[in-house]
Structure 1
Amino acid sequence: MTGPARRPRLRRGEEGETLIEVLVAVVLMGVAFAAILGGMGTAIISSAAQQKVTGADSVIRSAAEKVVSAPYVSCAGGYPTPTPPAGYTVTVTIEYWDGVGTFGQTCPTADTGVQKVTLTVRSTGPHPVGDATLEVVKRESMLS
């Protein structure tokens, strides 16, 4: 007569993991993976936004250098601006000093020789960032 089947006795270190332990490990790894993936996504989006801001800053400084180096243009003309790279637009607005202390959009009857040139760069595309604005004051040279 044989008795009930007995399990063979396991030696120390051969116990193995239970299903619960495996599930807990898988859940912890999933949570860690999701956190790492979310952090990487945020870093990529932030990097792209910073790249656009830096690009806009470069474009506006280049445009300002062209305006500063250009000769003074009376009320009838405008200032040259560089062609912006793809993804950016440049807007130039000229305001004229009226001789009293304020700048206006319309040219006074006698050009006072002082202008405020406002340069605005806007990034375009799927994720635009805020506009970059820079003001340059131009004076007509009296050394003629």
Structure 2
Amino acid sequence: MTGPARRPRRRRGEEGETLIEVLVAVVLMGVAFVAILGGMGTAIVSSVAQQKVTTADSVIRSAAEKVVSDPYVSCAIGYGTPTPPAGYTVTVEIEYWDGVGSFGRSCPSADTGVQRVTLTVRSTGPHPVRDATLEVVKRESMLS
């Protein structure tokens, strides 16, 4: 009768890792790598979106400064705006005070000297961000 099989004793210097231990370590490193890569991807996408929002804010403020600096034009069709960078569009919408209590899209027969100019900046391209909108009220100067 033979006894149970005995493992041979390892000699000094022959100790090592088992295959299971190596596989577990590789899987853990893979999971960590995927998590780090996902975090980096999210950070890059957020950075690009924030850059677009910042650029749109800069473009709309430049356009508003241009509208404010331009002289008042009675029943204006539009005011000049700076050329936006590639990937952005600027729209200008003018409403006229009717002298009674509201703004309208058509110029009243007698211009009351108050206009509300709405500027909108849109980013175009594959990943547009929200539109930036700013309203400027222009008044006819009473100084002549």
Q: In 2, Cα distance between the equivalents of 1:77 and 1:38? A: 49
Q: Where does structure 1 lack aligned partners over 5 or more consecutive residues? A: 1-5
Q: Which moved more, 1:24-33 or 1:74-83?
A: 74-83
Q: Tell me the residue number matched to 2:4.
A: none
Shift of residue 77, structure 1, vs aligned partner: 3.8
Q: Tell me the residue number matched to 2:55.
A: 55
CA RMSD of aligned residues (A): 1.4
Shift of residue 9, structure 1, vs aligned partner: 4.3
User: TM-score, normalization: structure 1?
Assistant: 0.92
Q: Where does structure 2 lack aligned partners over 5 or more consecutive residues? A: 1-6
Q: Aligned pair count?
A: 138
Q: Which amino acid aligns with 2:11?
A: L
Q: Which amino acid aligns with 2:112?
A: T
Alignment of 1:58-97 (within 5 A): 58-97=58-97
* Off by >2 Å, runs of 4+ in structure 1: 6-9
Q: Which amino acid aligns with 1:33?
A: F
Q: Which amino acid aligns with 1:120?
A: T
Q: Tell me the residue number matched to 1:110.
A: 110
Q: Tell me the residue number matched to 1:138.
A: 138
Q: Tell me the residue number matched to 1:31.
A: 31
Calculate percent identity across the aligned residue pairs. 88
- Structure 2 SS opposite 1:106: coil
Alignment of 1:10-49 (within 5 A): 10-11=11-12, 14-49=14-49
Shift of residue 14, structure 1, vs aligned partner: 3.5
User: TM-score, normalization: structure 2?
Assistant: 0.92
Q: In 1, Cα distance between the equivalents of 2:48 and 2:87? A: 13
